[in-house]
Structure 1
Amino acid sequence: MHSGPYLNRRTLMRRSAAAGLLSLPAVGALTSCASGGGDNEEVERGEATENNPFGVNADAELEVVIFDGGFGDQYALDAEEIYSGSYGSVEHSKTQEIQSRLQPRMVQGDPPDVINNSGAEAMDIAALIRNDQVYDLTELLDAPSLDDPDVTVRDTLMPGVIEMGQFGSETMWRLNYAYTVYGQWYSQTALDRLEVEYPRTWDEMIAVCEKARQQGIAGWTYAGQYPYYFNFTLYPFIGKIGGADVLRAIDNLEPNAWRHDAVRAAFEAYHELTARGFVLQGSPGLSHEESQDEWNQYNALFIPNGSWVENESRENTPDDFRMAVGPPTSLDSSDAMPFETLWASGSEPFFVPAQAPNAPGGLEFLRIMLGRESARNFTSLVSSLTAVRGASDGMDLPPGLTSASEVLAAAGDNLLLPRLPDWYRQLNNEEIGGAIAAMMAGDIEPDEAINRCQQAADATAQDDSIQKFQHV
Structure 2
Amino acid sequence: MGSTSEVGRRDLVKQAMALGLISVPTIGALTACASGGDDDNGGGAKGEKTEKNPLGVDKNAPLELLIFDGGFGTQYVEDDAAAYQKKYAKVTTGSTVKIQSKVQGRMAAGDPPDVINNSGDEAMDVPALIGQGQLADMTPLLNAPSIDAPSKTVAETLRPGTVEMGQYGDEKCYRMNIAYSVFGIWYSQKMLDDNGWEYPKTWDDMLAVCAEAKKAGIAGWTYTGVYPQYLGFSMLPMIGKVGGAEVLDAIDNFEPNAWKHDSVKSVLEAHYELYAKGYVLKGSGGWKHTESQTKWTEGKALFIPNGSWVENEAKDTTPDDFQMTVSPSPNLDSSDAMPFETIWAQAGEPYIVPAKAKNVNGGLEFLRHMLTKESAAGFTKLVSSLASVQGSEEGLELGTGLTSAIGLMDAAGENFLNPRFPDWYPTTWREHVVFVLGDMMKGDASPGEAVNKIQQIADDAAKDDSIKKYKH
Give TM-score, length-normalised by structure 2: 0.90
Aligned equivalent of 1:432: 433
1:355-394: CA deviation from partner (whole Å, max 9, x where unpaired): 2221111111101000011101111111111111110011
Aligned equivalent of 1:38: 40
Aligned equivalent of 2:104: 103
Shift of 1:160: 1.7
1:247-278: CA deviation from partner (whole Å, max 9, x where unpaired): 11111221100011111111111111112221
Report the Cα distance in structure 2 between the residues aligned to 1:260 and 1:279, rounded to whole angstroms.
Answer: 26
Aligned equivalent of 2:317: 316
2:244–2:337 contact (8 Å) kept in structure 1: yes
Shift of 1:168: 4.0
1:160–1:417 contact (8 Å) kept in structure 2: no
- Supply the AA of the counterpart residue of 1:401: L
- In structure 1, the gaps of 5 or more residues are 1-25
1:37–1:134 contact (8 Å) kept in structure 2: no
Within the alignment, does 1:457 sit opposite 2:453 as a pair?
no
SS at match of 2:57: coil
SS at match of 1:91: strand
Q: In the superposition, relative to structure 1, how do residues 436 and 63 fare at CA in structure 2: closer, same or farther (>3 Å)?
A: same
Report the Cα distance in structure 1 between the residues aligned to 2:379 and 2:249, rounded to whole angstroms.
Answer: 32
1:234–1:266 contact (8 Å) kept in structure 2: yes
1:37–1:135 contact (8 Å) kept in structure 2: no
Aligned equivalent of 1:388: 389
1:48–1:56 contact (8 Å) kept in structure 2: no
1:179–1:386 contact (8 Å) kept in structure 2: yes
Report the Cα distance in structure 1 between the residues aligned to 2:198 and 2:152, rounded to whole angstroms.
Answer: 42
Shift of 1:169: 5.0
SS at match of 2:223: coil
- Supply the AA of the counterpart residue of 1:438: D
1:38–1:135 contact (8 Å) kept in structure 2: no
Shift of 1:218: 1.2
Q: In the superposition, relative to structure 1, how do residues 464 and 402 fare at CA in structure 2: closer, same or farther (>3 Å)?
A: same
- In structure 2, the gaps of 5 or more residues are 1-17, 24-37
What pairs with 1:103-122 in structure 2 (closer than 5 Å)? Answer: 103-122=104-123
What pairs with 1:21-32 in structure 2 (closer than 5 Å)? Answer: none
1:185–1:326 contact (8 Å) kept in structure 2: yes
Number of equivalences: 440
1:308-327: CA deviation from partner (whole Å, max 9, x where unpaired): 11111111111111100001
Percent sequence identity is 55
2:186–2:306 contact (8 Å) kept in structure 1: yes
Q: 1:47 aligns with which of 46, 49, 55?
A: 49
Q: In the superposition, relative to structure 1, how do residues 288 and 39 fare at CA in structure 2: closer, same or farther (>3 Å)?
A: closer
SS at match of 1:161: coil
SS at match of 2:381: helix
- Supply the AA of the counterpart residue of 1:177: I
Within the alignment, does 1:401 sit opposite 2:402 as a pair?
yes
- Supply the AA of the counterpart residue of 2:78: L
Shift of 1:75: 0.7
Q: In the superposition, relative to structure 1, how do residues 266 and 195 fare at CA in structure 2: closer, same or farther (>3 Å)?
A: same
Aligned equivalent of 2:300: 299
Report the Cα distance in structure 2 between the residues aligned to 1:42 and 1:152, rounded to whole angstroms.
Answer: 24
Aligned equivalent of 2:77: 76
1:145–1:367 contact (8 Å) kept in structure 2: yes
Report the Cα distance in structure 2 between the residues aligned to 1:436 and 1:374, rounded to whole angstroms.
Answer: 38
Give TM-score, length-normalised by structure 1: 0.90
Aligned equivalent of 2:285: 284
SS at match of 2:163: helix
- Supply the AA of the counterpart residue of 1:156: T
Report the Cα distance in structure 1 between the residues aligned to 2:101 and 2:294, rounded to whole angstroms.
Answer: 30
Q: Which has the larger radius of gyration?
A: 1
2:41–2:136 contact (8 Å) kept in structure 1: no
Cα RMSD (Å) of the superposition? 1.8
